[in-house]
């Protein structure tokens, strides 16, 4: 039964820094982080030029938040000619002042070699600085570094610890990864009940891999009682977004009676509505 649970690092996964202030993205592709700026047209309106100079004035006075905003102006070409080197200079200034978001971004730049010479050790250092301040994206990406031995010695215990910190803050990818750790006993004692718990947390956010993993648990009786109709329901909800779930769904359908299939479909409809309601409630801040 080992390794039947699938982890998100086997497929491309995107960890988006959903920040209206910065609009940057760290992409996690099979454990490799790549910092890129969101595509946007350079701003050259009088208002944007004025805003750039205001950010620059305040940044020069040592305001870390303004330093990071100035870095964004240079990165996107808002109010000034696009200049990645200057973007990095100001991003580092903010990071050196302890600005967690800046540390997170600078870490991503060093990891991938965007605008600076690639240095995974330095990347992990900056990610750790941000992670220690509670930055959830940094905690997750630092866990990935420990999982793969990128910039740090490979360490399952540290990886699981940082996944847990991010998972407890509601990071779906971290919740999924922690579930996998519990399933395989990597950095934590093997515990199928905890595996189900954390997969449930991720599944409630619509994570298709977690939904598929829960189906595996219900199909095999790992951490829960065997319930093939419930397994079918989870596979069915996950199948639109996950090829593995689609394949397993087809295989399971051959084993189920007509009654079990109908029951599974009803449960899938209920499950889908519950997930949508929870996602909507979270979006509304409830």
The arrangement of strands across the sheet holding 12-16 comes to 12-16, 24-29, 32-37
User: How many secondary structure helices (H) and strands (E) does the chain include?
Assistant: 13, 3
Give the residue carrying structure tokens 């240079």: 74
Reduced to 3 states (helix: H, G, I; strand: E, B; else coil), residue 186 is: coil
Tell me: the pLDDT tens digits for 124-138? Answer: 999 999 999 999 999
Tell me: the pLDDT tens digits for 145-199? Answer: 999 999 999 999 999 999 999 999 999 999 999 999 999 999 999 999 999 999 9
pTM confidence score: 0.83
Ranking 8-12, 148-152, 176-180, 261-265 by mean pLDDT, the lowest is 8-12
Which CATH homologous superfamily contains domain 8-205?
Tetratricopeptide repeat domain (1.25.40.10)
Q: Say yes or no to pLDDT of 53 above 60.
A: yes
Distance from C-alpha of 255 to C-alpha of 253, rounded to nearest angstrom: 5
Beta pairing partners, 34? 27
Q: What is the DSSP letter of 15?
A: E
Q: Are 127 and 138 contacting, i.e. CB atoms less than 8 angstroms apart?
A: yes
The confidence score (pLDDT) of residue 5 equals: 53
| Residue ranges of the chain that CATH labels 1.25.40.10 | 8-205
The confidence score (pLDDT) of residue 148 equals: 97
Distance from C-alpha of 120 to C-alpha of 57, rounded to nearest angstrom: 33
Mean pLDDT throughout 29-42?
36
CA angle, 197 then 169 then 87, to 5°: 140
Tell me: the pLDDT tens digits for 83-97? Answer: 999 999 999 999 999
Q: Say yes or no to pLDDT of 7 above 70.
A: no
Give the residue carrying structure tokens 């397993």: 248
């Amino acid at each position: 039964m080992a390794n039947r649970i699938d982890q998100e690092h086997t497929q491309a996964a995107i960890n988006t820094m959903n920040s209206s202030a910065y609009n940057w993205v760290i992409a996690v592709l099979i454990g490799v982080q790549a910092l890129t700026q969101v595509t946007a047209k350079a701003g050259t309106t009088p208002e944007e030029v004025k805003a750039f100079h205001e950010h620059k004035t305040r940044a020069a006075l040592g305001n870390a938040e303004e330093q990071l905003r100035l870095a964004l102006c240079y990165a996107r070409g808002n109010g000034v000619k696009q200049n990645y080197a200057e973007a990095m200079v100001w991003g580092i200034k903010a990071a050196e002042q302890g600005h967690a978001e800046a540390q997170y971004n600078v870490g991503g730049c060093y990891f991938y070699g965007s605008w600076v010479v690639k240095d995974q050790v330095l990347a992990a250092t900056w990610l750790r600085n941000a992670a220690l301040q509670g930055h959830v994206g940094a905690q997750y990406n630092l866990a990935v570094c420990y999982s793969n031995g990128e910039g740090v010695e490979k360490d399952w215990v540290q990886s699981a610890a940082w996944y847990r910190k991010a998972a407890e803050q509601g990071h779906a990818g971290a919740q999924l990864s922690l579930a996998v750790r519990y399933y395989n006993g990597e950095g934590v004692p093997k515990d199928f009940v905890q595996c189900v718990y954390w997969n449930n947390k991720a599944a409630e956010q619509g994570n298709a891999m977690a939904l598929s993993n829960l189906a595996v648990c219900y199909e095999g009786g790992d951490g829960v009682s065997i319930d093939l109709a419930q397994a079918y329901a989870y596979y069915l909800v996950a199948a639109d977004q996950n090829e593995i779930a689609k394949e397993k769904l087809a295989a399971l359908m051959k084993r189920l009676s007509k009654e079990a299939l109908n029951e599974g479909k009803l449960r899938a409809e209920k499950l889908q509505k519950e997930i949508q309601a929870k996602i909507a409630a979270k979006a509304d801040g409830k």
